[in-house]
Amino acid sequence: MNTFTIGHGDNTIRVEQQDKERFIVRLEERKIKLLKKEDNEGANHWFEEGCDNETPEAKALGNAIHHYEVEEQEKQQFVVKLEARTIRLVQKEDNEGANHWFEEGSDNETPETKALGNAIDNYLAKEQK
């Protein structure tokens, strides 16, 4: 299960992704289970679990989730094959513009991911020259 945050109004909302189409959105006053459904033209629609209509709130939350998903896909990802295992690294930029390296699915930069990420940064910098 992937957990992330989205902006909604003036609030930062925690979202738990259960699978490709199911999300739990934790608002201050309640928890919403959102379902993403694609219509026959490829457009996404967002429904609260148990509802047949897309509400403005579900649509707004769904659009924020979609925006997050697009941003995540645009981030640089690298696969590092080590002797003992394979690591999928994701590069994320913090609010101050500094890059941090995480193992996919983790929110923590470890000394290992930082060292591997720095090695990738150094390699890319040499390639650009």
Q: What is the pLDDT of residues 33-46, one digit of tens each?
A: 999 998 888 888 99
Residues of the domain holding 111:
77-128
Q: Which of 15-24, 68-77, 79-88 has the lowest mean pLDDT?
A: 68-77
Q: Are residues 67 and 103 in the same domain?
A: no
Q: Are residues 85 and 58 in the same domain?
A: no
Q: Are residues 88 and 67 in the same domain?
A: no
Q: Are residues 122 and 59 in the same domain?
A: no
pTM listed for this prediction: 0.58
Nearest CA among 24, 31, 28 for reference residue 11: 28
Report the number of distinct structural domains present in the chain: 2
Q: What is the pLDDT of residues 59-77, one digit of tens each?
A: 999 999 988 887 776 666 7
- Phi/psi for 32 (5° steps) reads -115, 135
Q: Are residues 52 and 104 in the same domain?
A: no
Q: Are residues 9 and 52 in the same domain?
A: yes
Mean pLDDT value across the chain: 86
Q: Are residues 98 and 65 in the same domain?
A: no
Q: Are residues 42 and 63 in the same domain?
A: yes
What does the alpha-carbon distance between residue 109 and residue 102 come to, in Å, rounded to a whole number?
A: 5
